[in-house]
Amino acid sequence: MANPPNKNVRSKQAQSYLNKRLGKLPPQATDLEDAILGALMLEKDALLSVGDILHPESFYKEANKEIYKAIQQLSANSQPIDMLTVTQQLRKTGMLEFVGGASYVTSLASYVNSAAHIESHARIVAEAAIKREIIALASDLERDAYEDSIDVFDLLDAAEQRFFEISERNITKKTVDIQLALQEAIQNLENKKGMKDGLTGIPSGFMHLDRITAGWQKTDFVVIAARPSVGKTAFALNLLRNAAIDFNFPVAFFSLEMSTTQLVHRLISIEAELEGDKIKKGTLADYEWQQLYTRIPRLADAKIFLDDTPNIPINELNTKARRLKSQHDIQMIIIDYLQLITASNIFQKSSVGNREQEVAYISRSLKKLAKDLDIPVIALSQLSRAVETRGGEKRPQLSDIRESGSVEQDADIVLFLYRPEYHQITADSMGNSTLGLAEVLISKHRNGALGEVQLQFVGKYSRFRNLEAEEFQQFQATDPQSEGGFTTFSSRLNQINSSANGEDGDFKSYTAAPPPDDPPF
């Protein structure tokens, strides 16, 4: 006789303990389990009605679990399903004696005459299984709550994660008919018809970038990569500021590297256009204090949520994100940066074998988070040193992303930040100045065009800005049939340097009255 499978031992022990303590049997519907198995062996197409509702663990009786597994195996091998074939399959796997022999299999057919109500019966059995999972989880939580070695906030995060997993595992998504899908798609297109500039997602605030992406789209996982000190965090904070202040979207920012105070200082510098060094030291002139007091209220009114938990585990980040979505209806998440997230928690020790596999697990989790919350998730990423050793312009490539395999695969959009002056390149091939130039290279775009967008970077304010319209010369690539209609933008940058230094051009000199007697807060 074969031994029964040894699965979910911990949950069964917890369930047994709780049942004894409460003096109750766990939720079950064994008579319906027998009827379902009997119906499956009577009608050949019955499994089609319950295959997406039931799994082996849905059955309370161990024998019924094994019989359902045998039925699934027969179906997977395109073999007929009846009492004889099921009995033979159980004999082949060594489980026939365990389930009670051929007589028990034969007896199941006597419970029903047809499969007329099998779907309703299956839903009752599935609901009982969900209740058993909740009971087992409650017992696990009760036991762990008595352990002094377990952090209470880790326990809360893990509890929420496990409840979410139970819910996700038991939600059945039905196939949609093409007519219904077309109706929904056309309605969606009609709703977008009046949107300004063709924006269908959350605007980045950079017009030429938005022309290519149509804004950050729901469920998209976006990766923004660059070498250290190129301006990843500054660019991300500009995206945060533009979405939250200019377009009133609630946005969450998870910073694993910088503290909340440092982030706020950066945001003040960006919004008030004051030098970051002066803000850090508090050495502002009178007119700069006035400038700060005038512009900061817009920042204070924005729906921005900052979290500076270092080395945050991915499950904790997911939990916090879901809570922010539920409580504040956040419309976008930005993470700085991907490689600092960890993959372990108290219930599920990391099963990954190396750092690349761990990053792959995190990358997949972030893509799933974007889909679950139906919002764009933007994650910053480091680039390897291969960029520095490359000759020429040292433009980043997809292969330069650290632990790139899965990140490149999971991302819907991959953007690279490139600043020529970072690599001591001060002029382009035409002799135009590249000081203050920042290029956004769209190297992967699952649902749209690739391209290059040029911006102005003002380092002392950590500010990225659109170039003036007259500086752009837009042209199509030589091959218009290339993927997505590859589009680039070039510009004349001879005058950017003066603008970046606060002289003529985009930035005007600021003169104002002395600071008010009382600040606005």
29: domain CATH number is: 1.10.860.10
- Regarding whether 368 and 226 lie in a shared domain, the answer is yes
Residue 509 belongs to a domain: no
Mean pLDDT of all residues in 247-252: 90
* Token pair 């074939």 in the structure block, residue: 85
Res. 507: pLDDT tops 50:
no
Mean pLDDT of all residues in 369-389: 84
Mean pLDDT of all residues in 113-142: 85
Higher pLDDT, residue 372 or 521: 372
- Give residues with Cβ within 8 angstroms of 351, minimum separation 6: none
How many domains, in total, are found in the chain?
2
- Regarding whether 233 and 106 lie in a shared domain, the answer is no
228/426 Cα distance (integer angstroms):
19
164-196 as b/e: b if 16+ CB within 10 A: eeeeeeeeeeeeeeeeeeeeeeeeeeeeeeeee
What CATH number is given to the structural domain containing 337? 3.40.50.300
* Token pair 């109500």 in the structure block, residue: 117
Residue 376: the pLDDT is 92
Mean pLDDT of all residues in 329-340: 88
Q: For 54-92, what is each residue's pLDDT tens digit?
A: 888 889 888 888 988 888 888 878 788 888 888 888 898
Instruction: Show the domain range for 131.
Output: 10-169
**Residue 6's pLDDT band (cuts 50, 70, 90):** very low
Residue 479: the pLDDT is 35
Residue 513 belongs to a domain: no
- Regarding whether 454 and 306 lie in a shared domain, the answer is yes
Residue 333: the pLDDT is 92
Give bridge partners of residue 161 from the DSSP assignment. none
**Residue 109's pLDDT band (cuts 50, 70, 90):** confident
381/281 Cα distance (integer angstroms):
30
* Inter-residue contact 464 to 206 (CB < 8 Å): yes
Residue 515 belongs to a domain: no
- Regarding whether 218 and 109 lie in a shared domain, the answer is no
Residue type, 19: N
Mean pLDDT of all residues in 112-128: 83
- Regarding whether 236 and 162 lie in a shared domain, the answer is no
- Regarding whether 136 and 205 lie in a shared domain, the answer is no
Mean pLDDT of all residues in 132-158: 82
- Sign for the CA dihedral angle at 494, 500, 504, 508 comes to positive
- Regarding whether 212 and 155 lie in a shared domain, the answer is no
Residue 223 belongs to a domain: yes
Residue 508 belongs to a domain: no
- Give residues with Cβ within 8 angstroms of 139, minimum separation 6: 14, 15, 17, 18
* Inter-residue contact 350 to 358 (CB < 8 Å): yes
Residue 361: the pLDDT is 82
Residue 505 belongs to a domain: no
- Regarding whether 202 and 154 lie in a shared domain, the answer is no
- Regarding whether 489 and 348 lie in a shared domain, the answer is yes
- Regarding whether 214 and 100 lie in a shared domain, the answer is no
Residue 181 belongs to a domain: no
Residue 183 belongs to a domain: no
- Regarding whether 358 and 298 lie in a shared domain, the answer is yes
Q: For 425-448, what is each residue's pLDDT tens digit?
A: 777 767 777 777 888 888 888 888
Res. 115: pLDDT tops 60:
yes
- Regarding whether 234 and 159 lie in a shared domain, the answer is no
